[in-house]
């Protein structure tokens, strides 16, 4: 996978910048507008991979994975370059057939000044809100759980950025990552998803992964044991 303009801290931060030869990617705008077939296929694939018959479990895992990708591809460049890619839903293309991390292709090189408000507009309002609505069209899943997934994904992106910053001796990047993430958590939808709002984040809801036959507890899980 091609990387964005930055040195990506990990696979969740990598972003295709050229069209894949397979041609199976579709803009997320189509999913948000009501074409839920790709999301249905993704949830089906997640259910089969984790051998779960509970659709809400597979839906939660799928939504969490995509939320993690969206936070990462915005926060990573914001921290390391001071710019954020123009991740409008019509420009971000997704192939639901592939495994985690979700395969994304951005068809524009436009960037914008990186502020917490800008990232919130792009990711939270531009993607996570309509993604939750798309998940609801597939089947019932609690909003509190999905916002918990969003908070967990944001904290996870921060943790990876802080680790990368430590390895590459970039305390400035770690400080900027912490500052941006703290501002992003300061919103009613995210503020109570878990605490503290840093790399020690522990969520107040559960993504349901423990209900998979081979599942367990995530590192930030609300539960102490399954």
Residues of the chain with pLDDT under 70: 1-8, 225-226
Cis peptide upstream of residue 196 (ω within 30 degrees of 0): yes
- Is the Cβ–Cβ distance between 104 and 94 less than 8 Å? yes
- Distance between CA atoms of 6 and 8, rounded to whole angstroms? 6
Domain layout of the chain by residue ranges: 11-211
pLDDT tens string 61-117: 999 999 999 999 999 999 999 999 999 999 999 998 877 788 999 999 999 999 999
What are the C-alpha distances in Å from 31 to residues 176, 191, 208? 32, 27, 24
Q: Look at the block and give the residue holding tokens 């900027």.
A: 176
pTM above 0.85, yes or no: yes
């Amino acid at each position: 996978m091609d990387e964005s303009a930055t040195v990506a801290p990990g696979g969740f931060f990598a972003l295709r910048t050229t069209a894949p030869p397979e041609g199976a990617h579709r803009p997320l705008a189509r999913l948000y507008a009501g074409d839920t077939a790709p999301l249905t296929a993704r949830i089906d694939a997640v259910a089969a991979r984790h051998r779960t018959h509970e659709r809400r479990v597979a839906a939660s895992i799928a939504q969490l994975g995509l939320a993690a990708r969206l936070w990462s591809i915005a926060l990573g460049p914001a921290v390391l370059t001071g710019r954020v890619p123009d991740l409008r839903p019509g420009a971000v293309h997704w192939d639901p057939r592939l495994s985690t991390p979700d395969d994304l292709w951005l068809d524009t090189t436009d960037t914008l000044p990186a502020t917490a408000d800008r990232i919130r507009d792009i990711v939270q309002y531009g993607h996570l809100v309509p993604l939750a609505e798309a998940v609801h069209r597939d089947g019932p899943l609690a909003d509190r759980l999905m916002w918990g997934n969003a908070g967990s994904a944001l904290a996870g992106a921060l943790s990876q950025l802080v680790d990368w910053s430590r390895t590459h001796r970039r305390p400035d990047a770690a400080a900027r990552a912490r500052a941006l993430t703290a501002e992003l958590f300061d919103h009613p939808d995210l503020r109570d998803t878990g605490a503290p709002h840093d790399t020690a984040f522990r969520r107040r809801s559960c993504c349901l992964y423990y209900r998979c036959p081979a599942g367990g507890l995530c590192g930030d899980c609300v539960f102490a044991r399954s």
